[in-house]
Amino acid sequence: MLRRDFCRFALLTGGMTSFYRARWADAHTQDEKDFRAVVQDALQRAVSFFDGEVSIEGGYVWAYAEDLSLREGEGKATAQTAWVQPPGTPTVGMAFLDAYRLTKEPICLQAATRTAHALVKGQLLSGGWIYRIEFDPKARTRYRYRKPPAGGEKAFNVSTLDDDTTQSALRFLMEYDRETGMQDEVVHEAVLYALSALLAVQRPNGGFPQGFAEPPDPKEFPDLAASYPADWSRELSKKDYWECYTINDNTHADTVSTLLLAWRIYGHDRYMTAARRAGEFLIKAQMPDPQPAWAQQYDAQMQPCWARKFEPPAITGGESQGVMRTLILLFHETGEKRFLEPIPRALQYLRRSVLPDGNLARFYELKTNRPLFFTRDYQLTYSDADTPTHYAFKVDN
């Protein structure tokens, strides 16, 4: 099956807009002008095709059959489904918006507008987004969308920060809001609503959960520094892991980047304050010796805990690298050296933990620092001989 996926589309428009940036304004010879016309025509036809024939009300999934008869995101999708999780709808919207910024072609902004409004239709009452948006009226009743038709009080209403889902939607909508001078009231209001919800669910210590439906009770989340549990179960022991403080899959890093963009675009100190608090959380989340790096997720007592059945309480060689990049970003944005202080100890620890093949393990056992893996039937083990293929149990160093 041939597939039209939007990583390719983003590359296509990126290549076209790179040409515009480099040569559009400086096209002097006839050959340059002719080539510019070819690129302009290709861009217009690509945008027209994706916006007019591929999208559902401006929304997109990840991949399509050549005849558009089949659609999929991370899972199967109907003809009335769009995907938010990258590289879905926000990714395509940014491709349109980038193309418009460089070419000023109206068709690019029109497509970006439809995509922005598609995301608004998928915003939950809790303020953010989940992985998919349903446009079929009956399917929409399963979710508590802000825009009708939508479900009632018992409908699904947990926004997710997993896989850059809510964050990517917000970043595209904020960029669109800036480009349109904040004159699209529907989008502008949705952005402010989402940002308010995001600030409201930040925990007292600056951390964020993986998912949220409403602001937390501060009494349930004491402001603590990370510590090791006295013991931990070798079997999955926590089901509602979306309530945990989450670093997994760079969720926290994506949230910080989103808050910093909000501060740059809207200029309100509350967004920078939230980003700083998120950085303070990362400082507190650094584990004590002998493993001064980070876990994927922490419980309310700031101890590493289970998430999915293949994500145990452990020190992570993967997300710890993303944490350090985020701390460096916060230093550059704020000039505050405190954000750099955790990094030297973490680097020394990670260098001591490199595997014989030069990689890092995704998971290191608490206190012993032995690399942890899972078998294909999800039994915790010290051997990497039979790991599932859907997950990276080793990461680049």
Mean per-residue pLDDT, 232-259: 92
Per-residue model confidence (pLDDT) at position 3:
45
Query: Residue 4 and residue 65: Cα distance in Å, rounded?
Result: 7
Query: Residue 121 and residue 73: Cα distance in Å, rounded?
Result: 18
In the block, tokens 């876990």 appear at 295
How far from the centroid of its chain's Cα atoms is residue 100's Cα? 24
How far from the centroid of its chain's Cα atoms is residue 25's Cα? 35
DSSP for residue 136: S
Query: Residue 340 and residue 317: Cα distance in Å, rounded?
Result: 18
Tens of pLDDT, residues 119-139: 999 999 999 999 999 999 999
Per-residue model confidence (pLDDT) at position 73:
96
Q: The domain 220-395: what is its CATH number?
A: 1.50.10.20
How far from the centroid of its chain's Cα atoms is residue 11's Cα? 19
Report the 10 Å Cβ neighbour count for 357. 9
Mean pLDDT, rounded, of the chain: 93
Per-residue model confidence (pLDDT) at position 28:
65
Query: Residue 322 and residue 302: Cα distance in Å, rounded?
Result: 19
Confidence check: pLDDT of 366 > 60? yes
Residue 394 has φ and ψ, to the nearest 5°, of -125, 145
Per-residue model confidence (pLDDT) at position 33:
76
Tens of pLDDT, residues 368-393: 999 999 999 999 999 999 999 999 99
Query: Residue 121 and residue 106: Cα distance in Å, rounded?
Result: 23
Tens of pLDDT, residues 137-163: 999 999 999 999 999 999 999 999 999
Tens of pLDDT, residues 187-217: 999 999 999 999 999 999 999 999 999 999 9
Tens of pLDDT, residues 167-183: 999 999 999 999 999 99
Mean per-residue pLDDT, 111-118: 99
In this prediction the pTM is: 0.93
Among 243, 238, 202, 195, which residue's Cα sits nearest to residue 223? 202
Per-residue model confidence (pLDDT) at position 15:
53
Residue-range domain boundaries for the chain: 6-199, 220-395
How far are the Cα atoms of 356, 363, 392 from residue 366, in angstroms, in the given order?
Answer: 20, 9, 19
Query: Residue 365 and residue 11: Cα distance in Å, rounded?
Result: 40
* DSSP state letters, 317-351: TTHHHHHHHHHHHHHHHH--GGGTTTHHHHHHHHH
Per-residue model confidence (pLDDT) at position 7:
47
